[in-house]
Structure formats: C-alpha cells, structure tokens
Structure 1
Amino acid sequence: TKLIACIFFNMDGKTSTTSDITLFLSVINGSFILHCEDLVMLRFCLATYINIVKHFRNVFATNGYLLIMPTLFHVYSNVQSNQMLKKAIEYCCRQFYILHRIPFILQMLGSISQLFDSDQSTNIIDSNKIPQLCLFRLLIALEQTNIDAMYDNYFILELVKNDSLTRHRTFNVPTGNTSVVGVLGQGTLIAPTVIKSLDFCYADDDTIFTLLNCFDVCVTVVAYASDSVRSLQMLNVIDILLPKYLEYLKDYTNKNDIQKCGRNEFKQIEKLSITIKTLINTSEWLTRTFTEPKCDTPLDGIYKFSRTSYRLPSIAIDDDSTNRFIDDRTKSRTQDTDELKQASEFRWPRDTLLSIISTFIHFSTQRLNELIKLFHDSTIRIPELLDAKSHIRLAYIAHTLLKLGSFDPITIGCRGIQYYFQKLLPYTNWSDEQLRPALNHLLRRIDRMFIKICKKQITKRCFDWEATAGILNGIYLTIDRHPYIAYFPNLKALISGCIALILNENLAESSHSVPRLNTLIFPKEFSRSVIKLVGRYLLAINHQPNLEALTTNTSWSSANPSSALNFLLHFLLPLLLWMSSEQKDAQKIHSSDISYIITILFNSVKLPLKLATTMGTQNIPLGHLTYQFCF
C-alpha cells in the first residue's frame, strides 16, 4: 500500500482522466476493505485517499470520487457497530466536502445511486447493496457542527502531506463542554492541520454542509438535464432522503426546545417547499403522454399474471398460432420486450416525482398544523407549499400515468399514483377556480380508463382492481375534506360507471337463472370502495335525491326480477348495511332515495316461480349471496 502511495505522488497530478489511477486505487480500496478495523491501516488508507484527492485535483473535480466512494459506503454500511470506523469515514468525507464542495456531493450521490437496497420489506441484508438509511446517517453526520464532530480524533490529517492547501488552526473549545474539556484540557485545542478548499471560488465560504444544499444540488441536476440518466438518479436520491429528513426534523424538535427548534423546523419546511416548487417547474417533459403500442396485443396481455391482480387471467386461444413461423414469434417477443421496457422507462420518473411531492405535502401539511398549535402565536400562518401552477402540472403528470394504466397493469399499483390520490389530492384546495379543470380532467380519465379496460375480458381480468380501490379511496377522502367537489360533473359520471361495473359483473347470463358466484373478477376491496364512495357522494349532496340518477345508466331493470335481485344483492343491500353501521364514516341517506330503495325491494320480493324453484333446488341461501359481496 505504501508503494502504491509513493507511485501516486510521483505521477503527474495534472492529468484529467481516471485511466492512469484506476488500477492503483483498486489496491488501496482492497486494503481498506480487508483491514478497515485496524487503526493503523485505517489512518493510512484514509490519509492516502485525501492525498490522492489533493494531488489529482482535476480528476476528482469531475469523476474521481466515483472510484472510491462506493468502497467507503460499503465499509460504512457493513460495519455500523464499529464507532471508530464510522467516525473516521465521516471525518474523511467531511474533508472531501471541504476540498471540492458541490462536485463531491454530485459524485458521491451518483456513485451509489445504483447500489441502494430497494427491498425494505425483509430483514435480510445484502452485503453488496447499501441500505438507504446509511446514506442518510452519513449526511446527517456531515451536517453536525459541534466540536466532537469537527475534531480529528484519530489524527488522520497528520499523515496528509503539508502544502499550501493545509494550515494549522486553533479551535476555541467551549468551557461549558465538560466532556471535551476534561479530555483535551482547558482553553484551546490545537488541530494538527486543517484542509482548505481546492477551488478558490469557495475560499471565503464556510464549510458547513446541510441537507438542504444536497436537495438543491439534486434539483439543479434535474433542471439542467431533465431526461438524462443522472437526473433520474437524483430523483431517486430525493425520494430516499426527503421522508427521512422530515422525520428527523420532527424527532429533533420533539426531543429539544419545541419553541426554538420548532421555529427552525418551520423555516426548513418553507425552504424545502421552494425546492419542491422548482423541481415541479422543471418537470414539464414529464407531461408528455405515452404512445400506445402499435401491435394488436396490449401490454396487459404480455404480462402473464399481474402480482396484485385478483384472479388469474383467462387463457386466450390464438387461432393463428399454428400458422406462424418461428421467426415471426421471435420478432413478436422482441417487440413485446421493447414495449415493456419503454413503458417502464416512461413510468419510473413520473411515479417517483409524484411519490416525492405527495409525501412532502401530506407530511408537511399535518406537521405545520401541529407546530402552529404548539407556538400559540396567532401571527404565524401556514405558508403555501404548492402554487396553482404546480398542482396543475402534477395533475397532468398523473393523467399520463392513468392513460398508461389503460394497457399496462403495473402502473395503477405504483406508489406514486397511489400516493397522489390518497395523500396529495385530499390536501389540495380545490375551491380555486384554476384547479377545478385539472381535477375534472383526472376524473374523466379514470372513467374512460374503466370503459377501455372492460371492453376485453382478458384486460379486465389482468387489471389491478385492488390498486384501483386505492384510487377510489383517495377520491373518497377528497370528497370528505372538500364536499363541494361532489358537484363536479365528471365525478357523477365516474361513480355511475363504478356502479355499472359491479352490477354488470354480477349480472346473470341468459342461460343461467341464478347469478353465478364463481365468475367474480372484482375483489372485495374494490366493491367496498365503490360503496363508500357512493355513500359519501350522497351525503355531500344530501339536499337532493341522486341514487336513482346514479343508476340510470346501469343495465338492470325493475321489471326483470332477476336483474332487480342482482341490483339488490350487490349494490343496495351493501350500501344500506354500510350506512346503517356504527362506523364513524358511515353516511345517512336521503328520504327520497329510501323511497327508491323500497320500490326496488318490492320488485325483488316476488320472485318468479322458475327462479324460486331453482334456488330451492340448489340450496343457495339468500344470506350467502349477500355475504359474498359484503364480507
């Protein structure tokens, strides 16, 4: 290792490519991985890293950190129990930041963006992956400005070559810090060396690192090259860090002086809102719609089975399969794979952006309300986290995903679209006239998506109806917080279409006298969401009857007892049971709607002789039919 270090320092430091130092750095990285818990090797390797960064300043100003930061993060994440090693790596990264500032942050985040462990649902740790929490812990450690965090406990800088970029400096130690004073003595602490920035532009700037700066850097990359790979990596980093940072601010405030730390948290959220607005303003390219596949087979036919679909898709017999040549089948499979890849590349950045914004708005809105109650200051007002332009832009992005969901079963179940409807939509002020067309546009898109999905039986069976229940639940929460949106015309059409879906699915075929229970496609979550949505809609406009108007477009007929029975069992009875329950969100129904329901009951009581005989022969109890839907 010492030989490699000597070779390094005898090389020309003005080179601008990494090809000359890659092999030598591999030796240093290997030695650090093998002997990182040896204090002597730890000091020497970290000091060698700092010397290399100073010597090859041009290389590390562009892409040099890509060669060493993955190694440091792997060691940092795998040896979390070793406090000596953790503090040494944190101190070394602090020196890297002092030397190169923004280029170091960019290269650090870019070098590990593909190494994160995305599976957070299991306790199994993959040593080849980097836990997301480790990145956050390292950045929080860099943010600390106390004397314990700034001090070189293991005298790493003593091994750094002295030149014009290093100098001696005196630290004033607070006398109130008894732990530091007891160890280091009263008065002052002499640090061996302190590194200066390699770029003269940062000469007069302070060396304090904040996570807000990190978010700003990520947004800058997205704004500069929005459709690049690096931009997608920065979106992923924001998605990882932002929820953890908001929770960190909340916990820090609750554990310390609420008045002082709470006001600081309030200001931090305000600054984050500016960053979020900038991120949305630079995402105009995400409003472009996806071009539907030109082949006859939709994307949902390519997926053999969706992970979250309720039932297995039916087998579609291809009459032309025996007449196809092998080359044609190979070409078709290649085309299908390309379309799946295009859909995934289209979906991912939009899904990530919606997840980031929805999480921020949902958490910050609730947290700001809590802080205002704690301040007891009537002069403080909740700031506007997003403006109307940002909300409209997000609605258009969500619209593109809904359109993709018509032929891609994975999209509807993605986290971003679910968070948007369940976390952001209810916390948006839809009384603003500028925003109403955007919401109407979304509701109309959902209704059209249902119509398109149900045209073919195979697409209907492959569709993720459980995830669709989450979208309907988000609309329910939005009506609950903003009852005035019940008067939006497209909402009534959407609810009527949902009722028609569950009724038409359970409608008996002409050859069957009793509705078949083994042909259900919709899961109980979807049916329950429709019932809740109908009940909340009726309450929002309780001064006028609407139940009959909602069911005028369905295929049931009061003159047909079988159709009326289906309408009763799969819609009216579950609706009545829900509204008569003791749940706090259960709704009350209008008297005119009750009269309408009684009329349906009268038409359903007198079963035709053939239907009654069939039910008695097959021993199908009426309660069992109701139970299949409600529970």
Structure 2
Amino acid sequence: MDGKTTTTSDIILFLSVINGSFILHCEDLTMLRFCLATYINIVKHFRHIFATNGYLLIMPTFLHVYSHTQSNPMLRKAIEYCCRQFYILHRIPFILQMLGSISQLVDLDQSTNITNTNKIQSLYLFRLLIALEQTNIDAMYDDYFILELVKHDSVTTNRAVHIPTGNMSVIAVLGQGTLIAPIVIKSLDFCYADDDTIFTLINCFDVCVTVVAYAPDSIRSLQMLSVIDILLPKYLEYIKDSTNKNDIQKRGRDEIKIIEKLSITIKTLINTSEWLTRAFIEPKCDTSLDGIYKYSRASYRSPSIVIEEDSTNRFIDDRTKSRTQDTDELKQASEFRRPRDTFLSIISTFIHFSTQRLNELIKLLHDSINRMPELLDAKSHIRLADIVHTLLKLGSFDPITICCCGIQNYFQKLLPYTNWSDEQLRPALNHLLRRIDRMFIKICKKQITKRCFDWEATAGILNGIYLTIDRHPYIAYFPNLKALISGCIALILNENLTDSNHSVPCLNVLIFPKEFSRSVIKLVGRYLLATNVSK
C-alpha cells in the first residue's frame, strides 16, 4: 500500500486486527514483540497519516492495556519503550494525538476504590508520561529487541557513532574493542533532525496550552484543559516527592525553577482565556428557570413532587415542549459551565499547592537569594475574577454550578492566597462579593429556587471568604462585604418566611443545612473580629 496516502480508511481494517491481537495476547512475549514492531512499521510507512490522526487508532488500545496490566513489568516496559519510539518518530503530533484520543476515556472519579475497567486510570497515564521522561540506560535499552523486527531503512539504522542523546543505550564491546551500537530510530520530520529526543511533562503542558490558545472554543481545547487538570496536580506532587527523597539543596532549587516555568505556562493559559469571560444568556421566562431547578438537582429536603401553578391549564403537548426546552437549556448551561469549571480548577490547584510549597522550600534552603516568585500578576487575577463572575451569574438559575470543583477551589484555595492589598485587584473582589449578594437575593425571591438551591456548596464559598478575611483582615472594610454579610444574616433570620401570594402552603421546615448556617455564623464572627481589631 502506498505510504503517501493521507486517509485512515485504508488502514483501519488491519489496525483493528493488530489491536485485537495485542489485547488478547499482550502477555505472550512473542506476540508482544511482533505487535509492537508491526505498530512501528505501520507508523513509519504511513508517516503522513500518523502525523495528523493515525495515533488516534492505536493509543486508546495502548493505554487500556497499560492501565489494566500494571502487574506485568515486561508488558509495562515494552509499551513504554514503544511509546518512546513513537515520540522520536513524530514528537509533538504524537503527544497531541495521544492526549486527545484518551481525554474522554480517563476515569475522573477518584472518590471510590472501584476501578472502572472501561476507563483509563489517570495515575497510569501519568506514570507512562513520567516513564517517557526518563533518560537513564535502563529506560532507553531495548530489552526485548523489538527494533530487530522493524524494517530497516533510512529511518532505522544500526550505527556505531553519533547516537542521539535520547537514544543512548548500552554499547556492547565485542571482539577486539569493536563498538556495536544498538538499532536506533530517527525522526520522520527533518525539522527535528538536530533536536534531542528528551521528553518532559512541562513541554507537554506547553503543547496543551498552545492548542487552547489556537482554538479556544473547540472540543479539542476542552480536552486539553481536562488533560492539564488531570496531570498537573500529580506532577506537582511528583516533583515534591522527588525533592524530598534526594538532595534538598540541589533538587529544591530545581523544583523552584520548575514551578516558575509552570507559572509562565499558567499565565499564558490565562492570557488566552478571554473567551471564558463571556456571560451566559439567562432564560427569558421564569418557567424556564423553574424547570432548570426541577430537573437539574433535587434539594436535600425538597418534596419529591413539585406542585406547578396553573398545571391544570396546560395540555400534554405543552408540557412535552416545555420539558424539551428545559433539557436544551440544561445542555447549554453544561456546555457553558464545563470549560470554566476545569479552567478554574487548574489555576486554583496550582496556586494553592505552589504557594505553600515555595514557602517550604525557601525555609529549607536558607538562602537569601531565593525569594517568593510572583506566580500570577494583577491582570491574571482580574481575568480569573471575571470568569468566576460568569459562573456566579449562571449559578443564579443553575444550582449545579455552585457545587463545581472549579468555583469551590477558587474561593477556598486561590482567593485566600491572593494579595488583595493591591489597588488594582480590589474592584475585582468587590465585584465578586456584590455578585454573590445579588445571587442570594435572586434565589430567595421564589420558594422553589430557594429550596432547590445547593446551600451546602454555598457554605464552601462562604468558608473561602472567611479564610480570606482571616489572612487579609483589611478586606473587612470593603463595602460589598458588609452588604453580603448583612444579607446572609437576613437569610438565616427569615428562613421560614413565605410569600403571601403563593397559592400552596409552605411546610415549616428548615431550608438551610447546618453547614450553611455554621458558615454564616463563623463568617460573621470573623468579620466582627476584624473590624474591632482594626479599630
């Protein structure tokens, strides 16, 4: 078959056979060598296909097998070696296709100990990428002689000199000092001919950010954000453990440099996120808003049957049409929410972890030269506040938004670690506090929205404001904070106050959970303490 073809339809059939054989017989060494060598031969022969979308056909199979056979070191190392050859052949296109192909297959639910065999475990994806980073002899050596089965050409050579940096392996000394170099693979793209073949996760993050910047509204952009959200916390923990297990003086400085490089990547990501500041268009009628609340989540104490006013005057067709409209609005809200939620989760986790870790490293190094670097500038903080504002506005008629990890992490992990003494940032915080106050006012106008609202998640937001006041007492004099606290007190005192015009009697039950009430009391106490101490 002509290797210059650019359509995957020509190779799907026999790739499916190889994928099936690999899944069934991956623990047989003979079949393992044959399948992996066949993959490499296919990648080399159809170089144009695999430079664009060919890896989408094989990497899900690779990651599934790798994720579910961690107990087999032979198979694990063979897959890592083969992926390293893929990277040498195509570099960035391989990384992009690998991450894009498995972004929807990664198991994001870490709350249970039950392993979903249909998903790829995020931990093993991270382990594979870390294995690609290794440059020691053991990681580079072809233990199972896979490349011996690969067709030799100008791309695959057996050379005694000029071995690429990333492919340096064991050189055997035979006979009278003759050096025999192992078989090595060269890049298929001449642009990478003089580059080394060392892979780093920082480069992986940079590539993901590049995709987000190039096509921010695309599905691929959301996939790359999800990948960063999965890998970044694990990478930060990995470099921390690596520093603690080795020379703290040397590795500590290296870790600071890595965090500084990551902060540049994060700033770039924020600078390209202007599209996330667009506001969501609210439903035009109240019935649509009520429908979103009824179908999105149930209140922890709301009745199982919600009585609709004027329900006797509706026809069945009208009800079906209304339900369809509500479903469409839920879908639109979800599509609007997800990228912003993932984005805020990435930034908040990085700032929270890095700030604490940098403080630890500076104390351990005892070096006056090392100072706390600026992880985010004022412009980045303002952009983040604008994104949070859009989610808070959506939360007025979509209770799922408030309980999302992104907005919770922002208020509890990023807000307290921001220096709000900067005059440029104060309007942004005032704007957020005003938005929360207006959200409470809007929610409490109707009993159905008040009962179905996620007040437990709102307690997390108030707890984040409490932590911010605790670290920065001067914000107690922000005008909108006083208005917010007064509104929270009014909510608690008027919990069972009902609308006199409502046709259905309201049960005298508590609407707010204990967590919300405690958060309000704690916030009020800290606010009073901050104002009294300042006086």
TM bin (shorter chain): over 0.9
Look up the match of 1:445: 435
Residue 544 to residue 507, structure 1, CA distance change in 2 (3 Å): farther
Residue 449 to residue 313, structure 1, CA distance change in 2 (3 Å): farther
Residue 509 to residue 50, structure 1, CA distance change in 2 (3 Å): closer
Look at both structures and tell me which one has the larger radius of gyration over its CA atoms. 1
Q: CA deviation at 1:539?
A: 1.1
1:228 aligns with 2:191: no
Q: CA deviation at 1:266?
A: 0.5
Residue 256 to residue 245, structure 1, CA distance change in 2 (3 Å): same
Question: Which of 146, 153, 159 is matched with 1:163 structurally?
Answer: 153
Look up the match of 2:132: 142
Q: Which runs of 5+ in 2 are unaligned?
A: 164-169, 501-505
Residue 156 to residue 314, structure 1, CA distance change in 2 (3 Å): closer
Q: Is the 8 A contact 2:106 2:122 kept in 1?
A: yes
Question: Which of 468, 477, 484 is matched with 2:458 structurally?
Answer: 468
Look up the match of 2:393: 403
Question: CA separation in 1, counterparts of 2:508 and 2:60?
Answer: 54
Q: Which runs of 5+ in 1 are unaligned?
A: 1-10, 174-179, 511-515, 546-631
Residue 100 to residue 373, structure 1, CA distance change in 2 (3 Å): same
1:17 aligns with 2:22: no
Look up the match of 2:195: 205
Q: CA deviation at 1:111?
A: 0.5
- Deviations 1:324-357 (CA, angstroms, capped at 9, x unpaired): 2332222111111100000000000000000000
Where do residues 345-384 of structure 1 align in structure 2 (5 Å cutoff)? Answer: 345-384=335-374
Question: CA separation in 1, counterparts of 2:57 and 2:110?
Answer: 27
Look up the match of 2:21: 31
Q: Is the 8 A contact 1:310 1:465 kept in 2?
A: no
1:253 corresponds to which letter in structure 2? T
Question: Which of 64, 74, 79 is matched with 2:69 structurally?
Answer: 79
Q: Is the 8 A contact 1:14 1:56 kept in 2?
A: yes
RMSD: 2.4
1:238 corresponds to which letter in structure 2? I
How many residue pairs were aligned? 524
Q: CA deviation at 1:319?
A: 4.2
Question: CA separation in 2, counterparts of 1:220 and 1:30?
Answer: 34
Question: CA separation in 1, counterparts of 2:407 and 2:382?
Answer: 15
Q: Is the 8 A contact 1:447 1:494 kept in 2?
A: yes
Look up the match of 2:79: 89
Q: CA deviation at 1:190?
A: 3.9
Residue 504 to residue 319, structure 1, CA distance change in 2 (3 Å): closer
- Deviations 1:175-224 (CA, angstroms, capped at 9, x unpaired): xxxxx899999999744310000000000000000000000000000000
Question: CA separation in 1, counterparts of 2:209 and 2:178?
Answer: 41
Question: Which of 302, 307, 315 is matched with 1:317 structurally?
Answer: 307
Q: Is the 8 A contact 1:299 1:339 kept in 2?
A: no
Moved more, 497-506 or 264-273: 497-506
3-state SS, counterpart of residue 120 of structure 2: coil
Where do residues 201-600 of structure 1 align in structure 2 (5 Å cutoff)? Answer: 201-299=191-289, 301-304=291-294, 309-313=299-303, 315-505=305-495, 518-542=508-532
Residue 157 to residue 502, structure 1, CA distance change in 2 (3 Å): same
Question: CA separation in 2, counterparts of 1:506 and 1:115?
Answer: 46
3-state SS, counterpart of residue 287 of structure 2: coil
Q: CA deviation at 1:388?
A: 0.3
1:47 corresponds to which letter in structure 2? A
Per the normalisation by structure 2, the TM-score is 0.94
Moved more, 535-544 or 31-40: 535-544
Q: CA deviation at 1:121?
A: 1.5
Question: CA separation in 2, counterparts of 1:320 and 1:537?
Answer: 45
3-state SS, counterpart of residue 14 of structure 1: coil
Question: CA separation in 1, counterparts of 2:372 and 2:175?
Answer: 47
Q: Is the 8 A contact 2:291 2:326 kept in 1?
A: no
Q: Is the 8 A contact 1:306 1:464 kept in 2?
A: no
Q: Is the 8 A contact 1:300 1:462 kept in 2?
A: no
Higher relative contact order (CA 8 A, sep 6+): 2
Q: Is the 8 A contact 2:496 2:508 kept in 1?
A: no
Per the normalisation by structure 1, the TM-score is 0.80
- Deviations 1:349-371 (CA, angstroms, capped at 9, x unpaired): 00000000000000000000000
1:98 corresponds to which letter in structure 2? I
1:18 corresponds to which letter in structure 2? T
3-state SS, counterpart of residue 542 of structure 1: helix
1:154 corresponds to which letter in structure 2? Y
3-state SS, counterpart of residue 482 of structure 2: helix
Residue 368 to residue 448, structure 1, CA distance change in 2 (3 Å): same
